[in-house]
Structure 1
Amino acid sequence: MKIVTQVKLLPEAGQAAALGATLRTVNEAACWVSGVAFESGVPREYELRKHTYAELKARGLGAQAAQHVIKKTRDAYTTLKANIRAGNLGKPGSKRRDKARSKPITFRPQAAQPFDDRCLSWQYDAKTVSIWTTAGRLRGVRFLCSPDALKMLREHRKGESDLIERDGVFYQIAVCDIPFYLIAVCDIPEAEQYEPSGFIGVDLGITNIATTSTGYRAAGRGLNRHRKRQLDLRKKLQAKGTKSAKRLLKKRSRKEARHSANTNHIVSKTIVTTAERTGSGIALEDLTGIRSRVRLRKDQRTPLHSWSFHQLGQYIEYKAKRAGVPLIYVDPAYTSQQCSECGHIDRRNRQSQSTFACRSCGALMHADDNASHNIGRKGETVWTAGRESRVPATP
């Protein structure tokens, strides 16, 4: 199982200048390679290398950096093609889809650049790295991380690490405070999966972030209020338009995302810990494409598109793999309309956002609790069906 670990670099002023110049150079080169690929019909990586490698070397890039620039560009086009095929950029003939296909892919000056072990080495005891730049090899660049992150890097780091710059502003001081980060890939062995005694159904939502069939409910009131405050503040600062307002906007640009991610980490850890303690599996709804299927009023669209259900699902998934907890995805169809007591399905059973009243047996309960029980039951069915033999009986 591959997860990433983030460490913050603490370069001196001269080192920070070299790192910033390197990112700008490689991303400018990536934009040029992208233009060549677009004009050539996006050839394979080997063919693209024949057209661009010599020029990249002439621009001052090292051999490995040039290879990574070409691979990064080709991977970007592969991702674009996959998104188009999956319909993530709209239906054929849509304005967004045509726009994405009509011009070369571009890279931001601070976009991530991959480094492998040939151009980046780690000194864990000294908490420093040695990294290639366009100004030469930088040695002794300090980094900062937690003890747990350092242990994970020492034991499981494998493969490439990405250098990124976030909201960089140069300061003329002895130690530069430009936020450079290294995102390292760690390959962690998965725990052995046990046979579950049952499944915990998890109903995901906006009003309640997650509701489980064990009775746990993570209310979304605080997170939704935080998002509303951030939205109102952004509107005020954007309307003001002064330099100080723009600085504050830049400073707070990822505040909401960090708060949301922290909340999802807490919720996912609670769910996985409960499943591990009780020997149960976890059943999640497969909500792929829900934003394109749902039709809402204008005032409801912002909460829907701010809903980070996919991130929460990813957090639950990787935490479950590390703990050996079985996890499956089920079809969410009718889970909010079906009675978990008698199985009767009717749209009118869902009287409001929070109230479920079965028109057949009269069962009355919270709507999210009812849906979580249905999801858990579906999880058991899917798990059992997957374990059953499909081999015809011997006559």
Structure 2
Amino acid sequence: MPEADQAPALSATLRAVNESANWVSGMAFERGVPSEYELRKHTYAELKQRGLGAQAAQHTIKKVRDAYTTLKANIRAGNLGKPGGKRRIKVESKPIVFRPEAAHPYDDRCLSWQYDAHTVSMWTTAGRLKNICFVCSADALKTLREHRKGESDLIERDGAFYLVAVCDIPEAPVNENPHGFHGVDLGVVNIATASTGYRAAGRGMNRHRKRQLELRRKLQAKGTKSAKRRLKHRSRKESRHAANVNHIISKTIVTTAERTGAGIALEDLTGIRDRVRLRKDQRTTLHSWSFHQLASFVEYKAKRAGVPLVYVDPAYTSQQCSECGYIDRKNRVDQATFACRSCGALMHADDNASHNIGRKGEAVWISGRESRVPATP
């Protein structure tokens, strides 16, 4: 929460370091993206002449090199298409560009925290600014005081400034002998269905996404200045809402497992968007499905609570009967109904899948636990 005379200095600093980062990126691209040490030899002196401090120059060079490392990893993983594809050719044919208000890292040499006073002191291109106020919740302040370690990123978003601090929080001891595993089936109609009976319906989330999509279409079609202003104002609103819903769901799942002394089993859905083939009108729903974010929220909350978590192969979990184990595609009558053709068990399809996932999770955990026992001499 900078004062009126402090905000311009922070904004100017971000623009200066990101403009310098774009210059460094161009140099790196011309020289075939050399190592960080080599890149520093070619750019450090120029960055100092541009008015950047020693640490700011070092962080700018490292930020550029890390960006190219990430790009290379994405290309190797095939996330940007196959060789010769339009998207891949586009990203490989030009240097990486940083937005004027993109994040810039600060370490303890150029940023200091005064927790009691709720202020920070940080380097800017206009000199060191002191007594910049910051606000956060009481829990966040306690976490900062006890666990902050390493760098903090300064970000400007919609005219507001944020400091994203790295906190190294120790993991709780994992419960090595859980009382079973709670299977969690992830989906679109029902965001998450746990074998405990908990079900997070996706109707509200899907309705919210549909409404946001229609609003974006209308505003984009209108094309006026006020419409563009409204589009900017509404940007990221859907993602913030989805993240909040995923936080609520993941907290419910983890706290239930912690209270009952059980573990959590999740489906490994890696690559599902590449494997599944859908009609054109269904693609938006699939690509809006934030299952990875929900799984990551469950994972880090489980680590903090000491709850065991495993990922299982989702194959046949929706076709197998959780009562008798019989597998048949015809067991799945429709999206919501499961009727076993062998034993006649009738239940909600997602409940059935969650029980199968939980059983697989227990088998995976036992197998992993046994593999950790040293062999008898």
Q: Which has the higher contact order (CA 8 A, sep 6+)?
A: 1
Give structure 2 stretches of 5+ with no counterpart: none
Report the CA distance between 1:229 and its aligned residue.
0.9
Deviations 1:304-345 (A, max 9, x none): 111111111111011101100000111111111111112222
* Matched residue, 2:174: 193
What secondary structure, in the 3-state scheme, does the structure 1 residue paired with 2:342 have?
A: coil
Report the CA distance between 1:276 and its aligned residue.
0.4
* Matched residue, 1:212: 194
What secondary structure, in the 3-state scheme, does the structure 2 residue paired with 1:319 have?
A: helix
Question: Using a 3 Å threshold, how does the CA distance of structure 1 residues 260 and 47 change in structure 2: closer, same or farther?
Answer: same
- Partners of 1:132 and 1:293 lie apart in 2 by 48
What secondary structure, in the 3-state scheme, does the structure 2 residue paired with 1:144 have?
A: coil
What secondary structure, in the 3-state scheme, does the structure 2 residue paired with 1:262 have?
A: helix
Residue 318 of structure 1 aligns with an amino acid whose one-letter code is: Y
- Partners of 1:102 and 1:365 lie apart in 2 by 54
Q: What are the within-5 Å matches in structure 2 for residues 234-245 of structure 1?
A: 234-245=216-227
* Matched residue, 2:164: 183
Report the CA distance between 1:93 and its aligned residue.
2.6
Residue 46 of structure 1 aligns with an amino acid whose one-letter code is: Y
Deviations 1:61-98 (A, max 9, x none): 00000000000001001111111111111223322122
Q: Does 1:144 align with 2:135?
A: yes
- Partners of 1:97 and 1:292 lie apart in 2 by 17
Report the CA distance between 1:393 and its aligned residue.
6.9
TM-score (norm 1): 0.93
* Matched residue, 1:95: 86
What secondary structure, in the 3-state scheme, does the structure 2 residue paired with 1:182 have?
A: strand
Residue 73 of structure 2 aligns with an amino acid whose one-letter code is: A
Report the CA distance between 1:241 and its aligned residue.
1.6
* Matched residue, 2:300: 318
**Of residues 113, 124, 129 in structure 2, which corresponds to 1:122?**
113
Q: Does 1:162 align with 2:115?
A: no
Runs of 4+ in structure 1 displaced over 3 angstroms?
Answer: 389-394
**Of residues 333, 355, 369 in structure 1, which corresponds to 2:351?**
369
Residue 340 of structure 1 aligns with an amino acid whose one-letter code is: S
Deviations 1:186-236 (A, max 9, x none): 000110111211100000011101000111000011111111111111111
TM-score (norm 2): 0.97
Aligned residues: 375
**Of residues 280, 284, 302 in structure 2, which corresponds to 1:298?**
280
- Partners of 1:95 and 1:306 lie apart in 2 by 23
* Matched residue, 1:252: 234
* Matched residue, 1:3: none
Report the CA distance between 1:392 and its aligned residue.
6.9
Question: Using a 3 Å threshold, how does the CA distance of structure 1 residues 324 and 242 change in structure 2: closer, same or farther?
Answer: same
Give structure 1 stretches of 5+ with no counterpart: 1-9, 169-178
- Partners of 2:41 and 2:327 lie apart in 1 by 61
- Partners of 1:324 and 1:99 lie apart in 2 by 44
Residue 43 of structure 1 aligns with an amino acid whose one-letter code is: P
- Partners of 2:270 and 2:179 lie apart in 1 by 28
Q: What are the within-5 Å matches in structure 2 for residues 1-395 of structure 1?
A: 10-168=1-159, 179-194=160-175, 195-389=177-371
- Partners of 2:95 and 2:314 lie apart in 1 by 38
